[in-house]
Amino acid sequence: MGNDAVMTGDDGAPHRRGKALVIGAGPAGLMAADALLAAGHAVTLAEAKPSAGRKLLMAGKSGLNLTKAEPPEAFCSAYGPEAPQLRPMLAAFGPDAVQAWAEGLGQPVFTGSSGRVFPTAMKASPLLRAWLARLGAAGLDLRTRWRWEGGLDGGIRFATPEGPRTLHPDATVLALGGASWPRLGSDGAWVPWLRSAGVAVTPLAPSNAGLSIAWSAHMAPHYGKPVKPVGLSAGDISGRGECAISAPGLEGSGIYRLSRAVRAGAPVSMDLLPDLDVAAAARRLAAGPPKATTAALLRRMLRLDPTRAALAQEFGRPLPRAPMALAARLKALPVPHRGLRPLDEAISTAGGVAWPALDDDLMLRARPGIYAAGEMLDWDAPTGGYLLTACLATGLWAGRAAARRLSHG
Ligand SMILES: Cc1cc2nc3c(=O)[nH]c(=O)nc-3n(C[C@H](O)[C@H](O)[C@H](O)COP(=O)(O)OP(=O)(O)OC[C@H]3O[C@@H](n4cnc5c(N)ncnc54)[C@H](O)[C@@H]3O)c2cc1C
């Protein structure tokens, strides 16, 4: 790498055909490579694992939620405090563009009742196959089992099956992912490497993660059971959500979306009666037989199934007898927890390359010509298609910016 050929662009103006390197073949890296190839540059995509897109394939196992069909402002607000930084990228490649992109790869999509968008095939493999085929036809040089070993000075060094290799690209896009599910490739090993290159990195932390709970022995029969219906809240996040009991604690999308607030230390509470207000629940309790036990009242007057009744006892003991007080307790049960489940179990990673370390093109201020994209950037969002959309959007943004640099110097 390093020898540029002079070519003529579509506009007739001369531009350089540069040599680009993308590291990491997840959705962000593939999108960056796509943008660079589309601009006419030569692209090497280096991937540590034996194949591309392993986390994308895993994401497709439970139904690949590509994006969410939502108006731009509502969609953007899901990214919380990082929404302003991501807004231009999501404006350039938001939910509509994601759907058109998938369809362009021969994968029709459908929108579920919640607005979540999935490929009709539900899984990721046909999409990934079609994408890799298109990139291959455009000339992508994909090198698997090429692991970047850190270091940006004097070339970019890889451990490869053929021994060490050093590349000297004209522009590089890092798309190394976060650190959740490290066996799929993204292990966060890059954090100290970038820090030592002068790049600020916000500590990585679990997001979209379960809650660790030290259950009493009474809860063992309920492991694996859904808690339904239920409302969950922490800090300024609240609403109905899916949740299930597991041996280590609570999981499910309703729990995952509390991650940001839990990381900030907000207490978690659970509403076992999301369809009733306190007064209505109290009226039902007061109408019960005066001598009925509390357990019988929960079952007969409030129709709590055994799992929710067990949670009422687990988190609410001693349950008050007075109807108003009992109703209020059931609608706001404190959930004593031991924090989020560890990063390697989390769906995604919060933290990453800090925004002040990046310019508007997602180029590292400390290292001109090196860009970063995807989950390795410091943003966070709930599940629901927001994660993949931001990875694709930032990958495209960084890839296009790198392409401009190669074309025009
Ligand atoms: C179980 C699960 C389900 C999910 N479901 C969904 C979903 O339905 N919808 C959604 O929007 N999101 C979902 N996600 C999240 C989504 O998959 C990720 O946000 C997305 O894959 C991140 O893309 P990325 O390109 O930034 O990083 P990754 O996909 O993690 O890719 C990074 C790549 O970089 C490579 N790499 C890392 N270090 C090196 C190195 N030193 N040298 C060379 N290569 C390296 C890795 O091997 C990896 O292939 C899910 C995640 C999980 C774990």
Tell me, using a 6 A CB cutoff, whether residue 352 lines ligand 1.
no
CA nearest ligand 1 atom 20, residue: 388
Please report, as a single letter, which amino acid is at residue 292.
A
Ligand 1: distance of its center to the CA of 349 in Å? 10
CA gap 122, 107 in Å, rounded? 10
Taking 60 as the threshold, does the pLDDT of residue 84 lie above it?
A: yes
Tell me, using a 6 A CB cutoff, whether residue 46 lines ligand 1.
yes
pLDDT: is 16 or 73 the higher one?
Answer: 73
CA atoms within 13 A on the CB side of 175: 34
CA nearest ligand 1 atom 6, residue: 59
Per the CB < 8 A criterion, the answer to whether 320 and 194 are in contact is no
Ligand 1: distance of its center to the CA of 307 in Å? 34
Strand partners, 166: 157
Please report, as a single letter, which amino acid is at residue 201.
V
Tell me, using a 6 A CB cutoff, whether residue 60 lines ligand 1.
no
Residues with Cβ within 8 Å of residue 48, at least 6 apart in sequence: 24, 145, 146, 147, 148, 185
Which string of DSSP letters, residue by residue, matches 215-237?
Answer: --GGGGGGTT-B--S-EEEETTE
First and final C-alpha spacing in the chain: 16
CA nearest ligand 1 atom 7, residue: 65
Q: What is the pTM of this model?
A: 0.94
> Average pLDDT, stretch 139-147?
98
Taking 60 as the threshold, does the pLDDT of residue 6 lie above it?
A: no
Burial class (CB in 10 A: 0-12, 13-18, 19+), 123: middle
Domains of the chain as residue ranges with CATH:
3-206+348-407 (3.50.50.60), 211-334 (no CATH)
- Digit-coded pLDDT (tens) for 293-307: 999 999 999 999 999
CA nearest ligand 1 atom 1, residue: 59
Taking 80 as the threshold, does the pLDDT of residue 3 lie above it?
A: no
- Digit-coded pLDDT (tens) for 164-213: 999 999 999 999 999 999 999 999 999 999 999 999 999 999 999 999 99
pLDDT for position 4: 36
Tell me, using a 6 A CB cutoff, whether residue 67 lines ligand 1.
no
Cα–Cα nearest to 24, from 58, 52, 64: 52
**Percent over 90 (pLDDT), the chain:** 93
Please report, as a single letter, which amino acid is at residue 188.
G
Tell me, using a 6 A CB cutoff, whether residue 175 lines ligand 1.
yes
- Digit-coded pLDDT (tens) for 120-133: 999 999 999 999 99
